[in-house]
Amino acid sequence: MEIKPFEKKVYLSSPTMHGDELKFMQEAYETNWMSTVGANINESEKMIAEKIGCKDAVALSSGTAALHLAIKLAGERLYGQPRTGHGVLEGKKVFCSDMTFDATVNPVAYEGGEAVYIDTEADTWNMCPKALEKAFEIYPDVKLVVIAHLYGTPGKVDEIRKICDQHGALIVEDAAESLGATYKGKQTGIFGDYGIISFNGNKIITGSAGGMFLTNNIEDAHKVRKWSTQAREDAPWYQHEEIGYNYRMSNVIAGVVRGQIPHLEEHIAQKKAIYNRYKEGLKDLPVKMNPFDEANSEPNFWLSCLIIDKEAMCKQVRGEKDVLYVSEPGKSCPTQILEAIAAINAEGRPIWKPMHMQPIYRMNAFITVSGNGRARSNAYIKETGFTDVGADIFERGLCLPSDNKMTPQQQDVIIEVIKKCFE
């Protein structure tokens, strides 16, 4: 049977609007509150704080801006204010999730720090607690850990928190992809000493841009608001006593966020249905869906991903920008599947390339537990051919079209295309 391309592209994850977003944007326009103050900002901050369960949320221009100020705040708490022109983390090492988007870790470099990447664990595709323990053995003076919840799936928060507490380390929690996901009944974004979320255009709810800093410390919230508006002092003129940033969210973008927030649970339910349809439709193939800790966590299912069984991988070689593969009967690889999906006008994506494999960070330290007889078993290495989990997932995994406007019929076609890749 010939499979024809979709007339309208099926995206990986695109914005889903409902109507109230335009109403609140129009309100900002008609009242002339178009800048970084206004009712939309105030209301969206209040609504997010109530939904997540934190005392305050600060609306910023992006999730990256929120991460930068969270990391800066943690650095000042640990090491004091920096000299003018120097980052607060200058000369300090910071433990960071390895398999993530680089926005998670770039703010460490903004502040002069050096990221040390912690390997991923196979159970959730997030930071491996055992690798984190090993990292503290090697670098006992580290006092800051940056964790991310990959593709909307919570990591092993309790284990990571316990390890950090034992070493007196603070946690910055990047929940940019996991808004609405829970761990032991609590929302992600409030497990760290500082947390952030994102409203980028492809997130579970969106403002087209924007993010928020999350905290239970009102003084910290006030400081972040001050920094985000160029650190202006309370004076009748422009008085500046510390470095500031132009990071505040606009009232227009906040109008979109305000209109999206009531639909968060609806979007999560749609994304979960997509994940379950893939899981059922692909169950007879040598693949597995991205895993999560079913006993303790409930993802927001932002992106549905799969990983191909090792023995079902055809030959695939990746360079820095190019990739080659050799088609084999009964086998496939991420590149072949992504090409097949693209051929029917649908959008997939490779898994995030781990930070320790990125040219810009290749010289940074990377901590895995393989090869030391402790946690990454010889059986795992023999089975996968990899000594670190992140590189293995990157090699064998891919993100599937996960747009919540995709119909079940369209998803069925995508599933059939994937099946044909293994014929």
The upper half-sphere exposure of residue 41, i.e. CA atoms within 13 Å in the direction of its Cβ, equals 17
| Three-class secondary structure of residue 93 per DSSP | strand
- Token pair of 359 as six digits: 């040219």
Residue 400 CB neighbour total at 10 angstroms? 26
User: What distance in Å separates the CA atoms of residue 405 and residue 419, rounded to the nearest whole number?
Assistant: 22
**Using CA atoms in the order 275, 277, 278, 280, what is the torsion angle rounded to 10 degrees?**
120
- Active-site positions read 203
- Rounded Cα distance between 223 and 219, Å, is 6
Query: CB of 13 within 8 A of CB of 402?
Result: yes
Return the H-helix or E-strand segment holding 357.
none
Burial of 200 (0-12, 13-18, 19+ CB in 10 A): buried
User: If you search the block for the tokens 């998803």, which residue do you land on?
Assistant: 411
**Residue 111 exposed, middle or buried by CB count within 10 Å (0-12, 13-18, 19+):** buried
CA distances from 159 to 144, 155, 221, 251 (A): 16, 9, 27, 39
48, 52, 58, 61 alpha-carbon torsion, rounded to 10°: -70
What are the C-alpha distances in Å from 357 to residues 368, 373, 392?
13, 24, 12
Q: Give the amino acid at 103.
A: A
